[in-house]
């Protein structure tokens, strides 16, 4: 789908490899391969809860049919509600979502099934979030709108736009991270979707420069190379689509004023609904920001388009202190990781950005009255 960027892309990747972190690089079929490896940070294996919108895989039923598989069979086998595809705004938990993708891959005997679905997902499949992105004056403004609204309404994943220098990148972070095959397939699909979204905003001529994946490489690279047609890098510290930033300056087509007014009205209604239970909304935002290491009040307030003092005031109106809210989220994550994973205490401390395992243990004892080790033994 994407033409190769050839020697220019290859030179960029090799030049930037020190900055991005040494890892295994897979180039398109006609380019030589270069091998290097480095483990991803241990904290990234943390398994955190979340949900996603079923609209991101809205084309899953049609891909199944092309393999001669009925949707109801896949839903039954995956133990997913039979009406989940009745509305693209329906939410699905991350565990059943991955189970569904794995079941479809098994029934179709297609290991890259999730990638096939992701290839068909476009900006329009994101509903109100996608329509809001169309309202930007430029591709960059539209992408910023998409990122902001996506991060407020999807709890299983986080998307970040990093715009600096000659190149920009859109980073995809799972708030439930592991190195399982299910995670691998989800990331492959997500990066295909991000490429489609960027093409929808930047125009059909848009091309990525390199695509990186924070997961190991699948055994069969050919379908992935055939879709992206640019250098691919696995075992990276992050999953990201990297591209020349000048694309962000592209002006978006003018919109019908009635369409823009309708989108603005829907967004106001959505934001009003969020503010009705503001502390719960902030908790979800904090949980996502902890994964990226940016859970300060300023960063979280920016997700809501408000000043940190406004965020603090609105929380106080609900009798909630921001610092205590953050600690309660950290405790929730710590309990989950100790109970549901085999991560060492040091790794969990790193995932929550404590300076040491000892400081984490002190905080955990203050929260629960138990050491992390004692809690894990009791949870087992």
User: What is the domain-level CATH number for residue 114?
Assistant: 3.90.1520.10
Residue 209 shares a structural domain with residue 317:
no
Q: What confidence tens digit (pLDDT) does each residue in 174-212 have? A: 765 444 455 788 889 999 999 999 999 999 999 999 999
Q: What confidence tens digit (pLDDT) does each residue in 226-246 have? A: 999 999 999 887 889 999 999
290 and 328 Cβ atoms separated by less than 8 Å: no
DSSP 8-class letter at 34? B
Residue 242 shares a structural domain with residue 283:
no
Structure tokens at 248: 């962000």
Residue 214 shares a structural domain with residue 295:
no
112 and 249 Cβ atoms separated by less than 8 Å: no
- Rounded Cα distance between 130 and 108, Å, is 30
Residue 289 shares a structural domain with residue 367:
yes
- Rounded Cα distance between 113 and 63, Å, is 8
List Cβ neighbours of 162 (8 Å cut-off, separation of 6 or more).
168, 169, 170, 171
- Rounded Cα distance between 2 and 189, Å, is 15
Residue 131 shares a structural domain with residue 207:
yes
CATH number at residue 291: 1.10.10.60
Domain presence at residue 238: yes
Overall number of domains in the chain: 2
Which parts of the chain sit beneath pLDDT 50? 1-14, 16-24, 27-49, 177-180
Domain presence at residue 147: yes
Domain interval for residue 110: 6-249
Residue 218 shares a structural domain with residue 341:
no
Residue 126 shares a structural domain with residue 40:
yes
208 and 2 Cβ atoms separated by less than 8 Å: yes
Residue 206 shares a structural domain with residue 89:
yes
Task: Give the model's pLDDT for residue 350.
Answer: 87
Task: Give the model's pLDDT for residue 182.
Answer: 59
Three-state DSSP state, 348:
helix
Domain presence at residue 264: no
């Amino acid at each position: 789908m994407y033409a190769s960027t050839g020697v220019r892309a290859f030179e960029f990747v090799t030049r930037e490899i020190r900055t991005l972190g040494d890892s295994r690089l897979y180039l398109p079929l006609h380019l030589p391969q270069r091998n290097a490896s480095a483990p991803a940070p241990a904290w990234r294996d943390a398994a955190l809860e979340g949900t996603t919108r079923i609209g991101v895989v809205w084309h899953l039923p049609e891909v199944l049919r092309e393999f001669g598989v009925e949707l109801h069979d896949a839903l039954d086998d995956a133990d997913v509600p039979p009406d989940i595809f009745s509305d693209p705004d329906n939410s699905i938990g991350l565990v059943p979502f991955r189970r569904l993708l794995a079941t479809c891959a098994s029934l179709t005997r297609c290991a890259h099934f999730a990638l096939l679905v992701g290839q068909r997902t476009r900006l329009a499949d994101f509903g109100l979030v996608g329509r809001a992105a169309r309202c930007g004056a430029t591709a960059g403004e539209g992408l910023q709108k998409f990122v902001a609204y996506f991060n407020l309404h999807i709890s299983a994943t986080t998307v970040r736009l990093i715009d600096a220098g000659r190149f920009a990148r859109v980073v995809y972070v799972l708030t439930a991270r592991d190195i399982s095959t299910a995670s691998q397939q989800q990331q492959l699909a997500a990066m295909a979707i991000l490429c489609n979204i960027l093409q929808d905003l930047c125009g059909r001529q848009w091309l990525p420069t390199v695509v990186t994946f924070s997961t190991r490489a699948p055994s069969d690279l050919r379908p992935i190379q055939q879709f992206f047609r640019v250098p691919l890098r696995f075992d990276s510290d992050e999953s990201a689509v990297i591209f020349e930033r000048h694309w962000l300056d592209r002006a978006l087509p003018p919109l019908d004023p009635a369409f823009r007014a309708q989108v603005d009205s829907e967004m106001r209604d959505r934001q009003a609904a969020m503010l009705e239970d503001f502390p719960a909304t902030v908790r979800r935002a904090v949980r996502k920001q902890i994964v990226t290491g940016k859970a300060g009040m300023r960063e979280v307030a920016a997700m809501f388009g408000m000043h940190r003092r406004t965020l603090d005031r609105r929380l106080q109106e609900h009798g909630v202190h921001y610092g205590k809210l953050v600690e309660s989220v950290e405790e929730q994550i710590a309990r989950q990781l100790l109970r549901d994973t085999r991560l060492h205490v040091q790794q969990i401390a790193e995932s929550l950005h404590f300076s040491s395992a000892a400081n984490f243990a002190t905080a955990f004892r203050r929260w629960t009255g138990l050491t992390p080790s004692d809690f894990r033994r009791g949870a087992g």
